[in-house]
Amino acid sequence: MSQLLENLPPQYSTVYSTFFSPDGGYLVAGNQMGLIALFSLESITSRSPEIISSSKKVHMSFLGHENKTPIYALLSTKDYLISGSVGKVTAWSWNDLIHRKTAEMKWEIFLPPVPGTAVYTEVNSMCIDEKFGTAGRLIVAGGDNNVHTYDLETREELRQVEARMDRYVFGIQGKKVAEVNKIEPYRNDELSRPKLGKWIGAVALSSDWLVCGGGARPALWHLRSMSPNAILPPESQSVTVLKLLQDRIIIGGLINKLYQTDFTGNLLSEIPVTPKLSLFHFNTRKEYQSPCSLWIIFQN
């Protein structure tokens, strides 16, 4: 499988999701054909010609789902790599993947079909609330316009929250299910881009700030005033990925550039990426042993 992944022409592979192992030593990537690959970061960052030209960069790869459905989201606990695809969430043991180079499914959660249809719900995004219970709770945003919450210890569903529209961001506070805040960027004259649409394609959040964009132009919003603090690039292209990194904002999308700004909207850098390709996902490695972070960028 590693050879298959390495020989696949880049134009035929789209990476939708990435994540790092708990020790920061491996990068995991999932693509549109259901393949999950583990890459050794030590090998990737090595300057040795022997390692660079060898297959040692790919630690292992495997088919995450038998029906070859895309891996839309990846997540990690200290024990498990968790993958989200169409209709289910699956967990794999880090110990098996790293030390034994085997991929045996440890548990799975099946999502309900889209209401009124036989269509399976795809997993669009996942996060973990570690403060809940003994194992935490898994929060899954699905293609059925619902946010599903599961107890990671029992894998039982705790709650569903319906998101009725795709053009605003809302917040849920504490144990409340009711909407407590709402942002509709497309209604702002400076952010509205009717030709691109009203949709929200990416959101990033900190304790004081929220950055979002998509069809509407990306902007940084202050959570107390609920007003835009800075209007961000790009001016005329759709945005699909955003990240708040310390005092900087990283922006990418259906463009061949990666933008970096400060919180006032000043452009700090404009990094070219491979021409004619779209940026679907990027990730950063936390500082483990290395004094600096490693940027990893993925495109189709």
Buried b / exposed e across 146-164, counting CB within 10 Å, b at 16+?
A: bbbbbbbeeeebeeebeee
Q: Residue 163: its pLDDT value, please?
A: 66
| Tokens 């839309």 belong to residue | 72
What is the distance between the alpha carbons of residues 149 and 2, in angstroms, rounded to a whole number?
34
pLDDT tens digit sequence for 153-197:
999 999 888 765 554 455 555 555 556 677 889 999 999 999 999
With pLDDT > 70 as the criterion, what percentage of the chain qualifies? Answer: 77
Nearest-CA neighbor of 155 among 113, 111, 103?
111
> Which pair of tokens denotes residue 253?
């999308």
Per DSSP, helices labelled H in the chain are: 2-7, 41-44, 49-52, 94-95
pLDDT band at 43 (very low <50, low <70, confident <90, very high): confident
Per DSSP, helices labelled H in 9-136 are: 41-44, 49-52, 94-95
| Average of per-residue pLDDT values in the chain | 81
Residue 88, pLDDT above cutoff 70: yes
- pTM of the prediction? 0.76
Residue 147, pLDDT above cutoff 70: yes
Q: Residue 298: its pLDDT value, please?
A: 43
Residue 41 burial by CB count (10 A; 0-12/13-18/19+): exposed, middle or buried? buried
Domain locations along the chain:
10-163, 184-299
Of 88-92, 201-205, 212-216, which range is least confident? 201-205
Residue 106, pLDDT above cutoff 60: yes
- Strands in 123-129's sheet, in edge-to-edge order, are 123-129, 137-142, 146-151, 157-162
- Cα 142 to Cα 25, 93, 235, 280, distances in angstroms: 30, 24, 29, 17
pLDDT tens digit sequence for 5-18:
445 555 567 888 88
What is the distance between the alpha carbons of residues 218 and 190, in angstroms, rounded to a whole number?
10
Superfamily name and number for 10-163:
YVTN repeat-like/Quinoprotein amine dehydrogenase (2.130.10.10)
Q: Residue 300: its pLDDT value, please?
A: 44
Residue 90, pLDDT above cutoff 80: yes
Of 28-37, 44-53, 61-70, which range is least confident? 44-53
> Which pair of tokens denotes residue 220?
């940084």
Q: Residue 263: its pLDDT value, please?
A: 95
- Cα 286 to Cα 200, 203, 232, 252, 259, distances in angstroms: 27, 20, 25, 20, 20
* Correct CATH for 184-299 of 3.30.70.141, 2.130.10.10, 2.60.120.330, 3.40.50.720: 2.130.10.10
pLDDT band at 280 (very low <50, low <70, confident <90, very high): low
DSSP 186: G
pLDDT tens digit sequence for 213-270:
999 999 999 988 888 999 999 999 999 889 998 899 999 888 888 899 999 999 999 9
